[in-house]
Amino acid sequence: MFRLDGKVAVITGGATGIGRAIAELYAEVGARVAIFSRRMAEGEETVSRITLMGGQAIHIQGDVSVEDDVKRLVNAVSDRYGWIDILVNNAATNRRVPLVETSEDDWDAVMDVNVKGAFLCAKHVIPTMQSRETGAIINIAGLLGVKGGAGNQSAFAASKGALVTLTKSLAVRHGKDGIRVNCISPGFVPTEQNRHLIEDAEDPDARRKEYEAGYPLRRLGRPEDIAYAALFLAAGEAGWVTGVNLVVDGGLLAK
pLDDT at 194: 87
- Cα 141 from Cα 139, distance rounded (Å): 6
- Cα 222 from Cα 187, distance rounded (Å): 10
The region of weakest confidence among 16-30, 100-114, 149-163, 204-218 is 149-163
Three-class DSSP category at 244: coil
Of 58, 61, 66, give the one whose Cα is nearest residue 84. 58
pLDDT at 249: 97
Query: Any idea where the domains of the chain sit in the sequence?
Result: 8-186+222-248, 193-220
Q: pLDDT per residue over 60-116, tens digit each?
A: 999 999 999 999 999 999 999 999 999 999 999 999 888 999 999 999 999 999 999
- CATH code of the domain made up of 8-186+222-248: 3.40.50.720
pLDDT at 177: 98
Of 134, 106, 197, 138, give the one whose Cα is nearest residue 14. 138
Going from the C-alpha of 224 to that of each of 23, 46, 153, 186, 190, the distances in angstroms are 10, 15, 24, 11, 12
Strand partners, 56: 32
Three-class DSSP category at 58: strand
pLDDT at 146: 93
The region of weakest confidence among 15-24, 64-73, 97-106, 161-170 is 97-106
pTM recorded for the entire structure:
0.96
Q: pLDDT per residue over 144-159, tens digit each?
A: 999 987 678 899 999 9
Q: pLDDT per residue over 30-76, tens digit each?
A: 999 999 999 999 999 999 999 999 999 999 999 999 999 999 999 99
Three-class DSSP category at 60: strand
Strand partners, 247: 185
CA 123 to chain centre: 16
The confidence band for 19, taking pLDDT boundaries of 50, 70 and 90, is: very high
- Cα 247 from Cα 138, distance rounded (Å): 13
Cβ contact 23:47 at 8 Å: no
Please check the confidence at residue 179 and state whether its pLDDT lies above 70.
yes
- The mean pLDDT value of the chain amounts to 96
Please check the confidence at residue 210 and state whether its pLDDT lies above 90.
yes
- Cα 35 from Cα 19, distance rounded (Å): 8
Amino acid (one-letter) located at 75: N
- Cα 195 from Cα 144, distance rounded (Å): 17
